[in-house]
Amino acid sequence: MSSSEPSSTSRPTTRTASACAAAEAARATHAFKVIGKTLHSGFGVGNSVDSAAFDAGGHRWCIQYYPDGGGDEEGSDDHVTIYLTLLSGDDDDDADATVKYDFCLVDQATGLLSPSPVYSHQAVFNTHIASTRGFTMTKTDLHAMGYLKDDCLDIECDVTVIKRDDVLDVDAPPHDLPGDLGKLLEDYKLGVDVTFSVKEEDIHAHRIVLAMRSKVFKAELYGPLSSDKRNQSIVVEDMEPLVFKALIRFIYTDSLPAMDDLDAGEYEAMVKHLLVAADRYGMERMKLMCESILCGWLSVDRVASTLVLADQHHCSQLQDACVRFINVSNRMDDVAASEGYQHLKRACQTPQALG
């Protein structure tokens, strides 16, 4: 005996054993032969030849053969349709059956089944709703493959009924990834590894989350110059802390702040600041959301200044909305008299194009 093999004396004196085997689902195969010229043509679209009923998994089934098509497919009279049909269930009120079924056809020249199923599927059958499932083939393919020859067609259907007790239905709760990330942001002590100084206010975050959502943050935090910023706060110029916080929160939660406590003017101003921040940090979804809000807030007094903003930050959707508003408002004189229009004239080289 080699030294690597345990000796018989080293084995425990008490030995137990157990096994677990999966329960087999109910399975049955039914062969259906259709013979005779009158059963393969001239039957009419939507008319079937049915097999005898057979049992599988506590249910009664049959095979339905539509020699001129079931009627649902285009050019159905040039097709045949073959269905597996649930006729009845067991004594339960709920007659649902989860079934895997395979259709094979016999090569009339060799008498052998097709090497693989002509059609294979899994579906739920119900006697009270839709109880038929199957497939369609052209008559040309049936003849070419040798399945229909001398007015004879052999259909074999293998039915596997998966018992309800064997199927575990689990209702997965809805995901709350934005909510979870929002909580991570609120608990700034957990894993934070970057600090931004915005007008002397410190705002903490996680580098990997910012880099994942913003290509600008990715370059700043992981680019060639990022090593210089590892152990120091990153100063953010020309932005209010409230706006930067809203930007960071959008990165984590994919939602804009509620801003319910702001009046109309403050709300519009905040959305414009958020649009500028989104453009600065490459947050296209946030930028488009801000554009959409501003498109609904256009007025004679504000449209020109909004157009300037749209032009400066390449907001094509907002630009188009502003131009359409000016062209159809019939108040061009009022727009031209607004303070925003004077700003527009200074910012754009060809304001005449608007007139």
Distance CA 30, CA 55 (A): 9
As a whole number, mean pLDDT of residues 53-74 equals 83
pLDDT of residue 10: 52
| pTM beyond 0.75 | no
pLDDT of residue 216: 95
pLDDT of residue 195: 92
| Least confident segment among 4-13, 255-264, 265-274 | 4-13
pLDDT of residue 288: 93
| Least confident segment among 20-29, 161-170, 264-273 | 161-170
CB–CB of 138/79 below 8 Å? yes
| Highest mean predicted confidence (pLDDT) among 96-100, 139-143, 219-223, 238-242 | 238-242
% of residues, the chain, pLDDT over 70: 76
Pick the CATH number of 26-165 from 2.60.40.1220, 3.40.50.1110, 2.60.210.10, 1.20.5.510: 2.60.210.10
Domain ranges, ordered by start, for the chain = 26-165
Nearest alpha-carbon partner for 340 in 315, 316, 308: 308
Is the pLDDT assigned to residue 345 strictly greater than 90? no
What is the H or E stretch that residue 65 is in?
strand 59-66
Nearest alpha-carbon partner for 185 in 252, 131, 236, 231: 252
Distance CA 55, CA 61 (A): 6
Confidence of residue 89 (pLDDT cuts 50, 70, 90): low
Which tens digits make up the pLDDT trace of 281-315? 999 999 999 999 998 888 887 888 888 899 899 99
Placement of tokens 């934005």 in the chain: 178
Distance CA 58, CA 346 (A): 82
As a whole number, mean pLDDT of residues 206-213 equals 93
Mark out the alpha helices in the chain (DSSP H runs): 139-144, 177-186, 207-213, 215-222, 241-253, 264-280, 284-295, 303-312, 316-328, 332-337, 339-347
Confidence of residue 167 (pLDDT cuts 50, 70, 90): very low
Distance CA 210, CA 218 (A): 7
pLDDT of residue 4: 44
Checking 118-127 for CB contacts under 8 A at 24+ apart, the result is 119/82, 122/98, 123/98, 123/99, 124/96, 124/97, 124/98, 124/99, 125/59, 125/86, 125/96, 125/97, 125/99, 126/86, 126/95, 126/96, 126/97, 127/86, 127/87, 127/88, 127/89, 127/95
Distance CA 355, CA 5 (A): 96
As a whole number, mean pLDDT of residues 54-63 equals 88
Which tens digits make up the pLDDT trace of 7-44? 444 555 566 666 554 445 788 999 999 998 888 888 88
Placement of tokens 């059963």 in the chain: 39
Joined together, the tokens standing for residue 92 give 């339960």
Task: For the beta carbon of residue 97, count every other beta carbon within 10 angstroms.
Answer: 25
Distance CA 275, CA 265 (A): 15
Which tens digits make up the pLDDT trace of 103-153? 999 999 888 988 888 888 888 887 666 578 888 888 888 888 899 999 899
Is the pLDDT assigned to residue 86 strictly greater than 50? yes
Is the pLDDT assigned to residue 92 strictly greater than 70? no
pLDDT of residue 72: 60
